[in-house]
Structure 1
Amino acid sequence: MLTFPIFISENMASASSISNDVTVCSICFEKFRTPRILPCTHVFCHGCISSYIVTSCQSKVAPVGFSCPLCRKFVPSASAENNPEKWTDSLPECKILDKLNKQETNLCAACLRENEEEEATDICITCEESICGNCAKYHKRSLASKNHVIVSLTEPSAVLKAVICASLKNESCPVHPDKDIEIHCNDHMTVCCSLCVSTDHRKCADVMTIQSMAEKTKSEGNVKKLLRKMSNFEQELLLIKKKQEDNITALDTASDDIRSETCQLRKEINEHLDKLERKHLNEIAELTKGGRDVLSSTIDSLRDRIQFSRHCIESMQDIEGKSDACFLKDYHRVRESFEMLEGRTRNLEYHELKLKSRISKELRQIKNLKKFSENQVTHSKMNFVTRKSVDEVGFTMLCELNYPDYNICSGTFLSDDKIVLANFNSQKEGLLFATLKQNTWGIEKKIESSDFIFDVLPFGKYLYVTDRTTKSIIVLSNDTFTTCKELKIQDGLTPYGMSQRGKFLYVACRIAILKLDFEGEVIHKYPLEKPCFYMTVTKEGHIVYTYTDTHEVTCIDDIGGSLWKYTSSQLKSPHSVDRDSLDNLYVSGFTSNNVHILSCSGSLIRVIEDIPCPAFMKVNQQGTLCCVCSNWKNIRVYELK
């Protein structure tokens, strides 16, 4: 539905007076000056929309478009120019509106040519002029003008709608606007008029009429091919966008972890310093107390001797007035007492105590710290490279691995240089890890298991493994490969192939497909008509699985409703069905010796022939490598170019 591009503000009294004026720009609220039309049909002055585009693109890296100021709908750049200042020049010009805007009077243009003045009541979009009621009536009666578009001026929105439709419905030549498009030049892949053919394209050998070229383009499926290419391009952009969003989450998580670690370290340092301070002060208090006790004991001893000495002095002073006998008796008594005091004092020790504290060197260095830690963000830049469509890509074999004693049912890429393979053989190792080293793939690690392992699925920090022996899903750490937990399958069902989408696991259990949470609880059960061992889930949540016995590939929605089925005389005994990051499906025809590549809607894109007994085909996240297992024992790794 076309909208009328006039912004009405409750706080702007003038807005109501211009809301019915189709010649007013909704950015500057003035008469249009060289009006330009956006794909969303909103119209703005050339200068207004140009300024808006430049401003809105300032913060973007390599901008390719902008949002409409009114409806916020995205408007792709219509120009090959990387300079947003020139994008407005490529927008369609609303010449009719510009002509109306420059009209000085509201009089009938046809009558004015006859020197008559009649007020205009309508507008002929085709003639691009205002007309009165009589002229409009005769306009419709004339064979030459009966098909012209005439709109009443009393309906501003209808006028604007008609003006915009007429401006956008443009079949004129890009070089010669007054000429209609008639020819398509295949040499330059462009449309042109008859004048162009006689001038700029006169030496071109391959030209066709527009009708012939349009019919050829439709019949050759070029539209579908281009749509698929654009869809794949969009999926690649979505993948990179998801990585960037995940990177933001990882940055925020790392920031939170560092903040938490910093606060915890500060807390531990504070607690440790508080503990050291208490211990330090306690030691000081104990040393001070010990020193005080020693000095106080000495002071007490000296105090007693001072009093003893003073007593001797007083006694000696008292004997002077006594008789000679008493004098000598007291003299010798005082002398003997003093000599005894001297004897006991001669070996008396007194002390000089000094309390010192040497702050540890490490503690003093804390004050010299300039940073709590060294912080940095490692920044790697990667160029966006559009991968080829699967119907064009070539397969170059890098290596071939043969394991005659194994029975490899499934596998997947852990990274671009590592593959994990599931061995369905109770007498041998359960999981095999192949790694690329110096352009050669080889088994790096083997995980022993006496159980029948059918499929392996990496997710997050874990590997999910379907174990037919225990009828459960074993969850392993992808670092140590130790068992973290075991998810028992309910109702005694046996798990085979797996897929993952969001927070759910999907497991093929022969007679049913189970949708589980990561604790093993059944969210939904999809009963099956025939035995099924392999399945996958698309980005839309559609479940795709194979019936080997009836040579079918079936797709159902999240509630079990049938969406599509794929059969082909070239597809026999389909086994594994896998998907790449662009949601292309790879169906292994075990007895037809080929792999059918389907779109997520079930249409055939390509058949890769001459692959002997393919059990499964896996493509890495980047779409640069694929791994094909033939006859359960042979692994081929291909580079996709």
Structure 2
Amino acid sequence: MATPTKDTEHFDDLLTCTICLEIFKLPKYLPCLHTFCDSCINTYIVSSVAKGKITEGFTCPVCRKIVSGGDKLEKPELWAQSLPSNHFVTSMLDKLAIQKAEKMCDSCVINKESTKAKSWCPICEEAFCDQCEKYHKNLKISARHKLFSIQEMQSGGTPFKVCEVQNCEDHPGKIVEFYCLDHSQPCCTSCGTLTHRKCENVTSIQKAASGIKHSPKASGLSQKLTEHVIQLGEIIEDRNTNLADVENSTGEIRTTVANIKTEISRHIDRIEETLITELTSTKKQVEIEVKDEVGVLSSYRGAVKKWKTVIDSVLEHGSDEQCLMEINKIESKISELEQEIEDLVKTIKSVSVVFSPSPPIADFIKNAQTFERIKVDKSAVSFLNFNLEMKVDKVDFRTGNINILQVIDVCNGTGTTSGIFIHNFLLFTIHNKKKVVKYNSDGQSLLSELALPGSPEDIAAVTHFKVAVSSYGQGVCVVDSNKMVLLQTLNLPGIPVYGISFVNEDTFIACHSYTLTWINVSSGQTINKRTTSSQSFFVLSLSQTDYMFANSSNSVDYVVDNTKKFTYTNSDLSYPRGIGVDYMGNLYIASYSSRYIHQITNGGELIRKIPASTIGIVNPWTIRFATNSNKMVVTCSSTGKATICEFV
């Protein structure tokens, strides 16, 4: 029997029902985008009704969001039938069955027969045995459908694109053929006639979906989901650490009480018992509160991870149309989820249990009637605004003006610096003083600084709470950007590091001289290495497989999957250094010697050359944009200054 290929073997979680923990059968999804077997969700709904848990709807078994019953309140057994089918998951299951040589003829299955399928119709999304294939070809409506041999599909000779034909969610049985740009909605012919007939910008679904997989919108959504997974994980880790601190502090209090008990008379036994009871009750209450927070955050994280898996799988395996539809579904839920998380995070307090014994004066037995009361201290924890909005006011990066918001004299008149936006802050390296400094987001106030073991060269984001600082000859330091403390020092003997850019949380690219080196953060082991043709001071990682670097004194290479996508060169590009990218995918190259910033498309075409003098810089060194923002920070190598600018 054939074994599943790498195409589907990593998506078991995506294809497994969280109720029965088995492969989906007739997958249906709820408005919150969680998917379940038709029979499982139906049983769950009916059971909830029987237990009297439902008044206006039912709650999702995963995230507990309420799903309205609409006009079916009196007949809950019909709710599951009205839920939309998850066509992407169904197609993935078809693909898995084909790869395992387990796919049965769909027509025969309807007739309760089991016949192995021999061919596949991508239009009907059905498999046929030899006999049913003949009937399919004889029907006028399907006579021109091109069928593929399942045997060839198993061998890899014929590609399998899931969900090449999409069904309309509002009109089951209708095929999505159009896309309304005015409302960002896919449409069937009924939608176009009834709902969107007055819309001016309606195009074909194929045209609307063209290039969606490689668009900033798709990559931005995938990146945003990754960031949410990481940030939720860090918040959960903080909550669990707080819980452990409470456990430790209550243990210390017990020890203190026991020591006091041994030094005084029996009179203490009564009030000790009262205190221990109160302490236990307080600890239990704190545990309930913190665990509730962890539970809710875990639920959010699970939802985001599930959406992330869907997006990654549809980007890799789905058709352009499916990709567009899945993005539409998830995008509509992101803002709501972000608001819920932001509201929750704002209410989180750092919890500690504090004990201070009342003054045990000489006459304690005679006068003291109780220990000091147990208190729960709650102080706000700075999670630095969870909300990571993808959408900002529309900005034309290619023709818009550039305004200087603030010029910061980071190095006091001389030296090199690299800067980065991280949360609501700005971090800069100061080479000659061996430290990294932290400013508020507008650059007007120096908040804190941290001494480093070596002279820093470049700085890059690792996660929402961590940055990495490179140091030539000293390796890489990982810093908590919130608390400004050194977390890890990664020594890299034999690897001179100057510029640094993270591919993901575990891997970064280091560059210097004529070498790019991919390094694992945890172990410091070299994963990959590439030789360049010239001094490559900086590198920009755009995705898991895309990166950009200087490959000569007047050219920059863009590489995708180890294949050069383009080389950008220009007579006014002299000694390229830092490389940046805005949220629309436009690229920016700091031309150190010719004193320009070159703005180019992600296809390598020049948009415009921005004179460094117009933004208060002499020799541009690094360029970094704030996440999903029109703001950038540009540093100068000769003056040690940094300029915060915005496109308007």
Q: How does the TM-score come out when normalised to structure 2?
A: 0.49
Q: Which has the larger radius of gyration?
A: 1
Q: How does the TM-score come out when normalised to structure 1?
A: 0.50
Higher relative contact order by CA 8 Å / sep ≥ 6: 1 or 2? 2
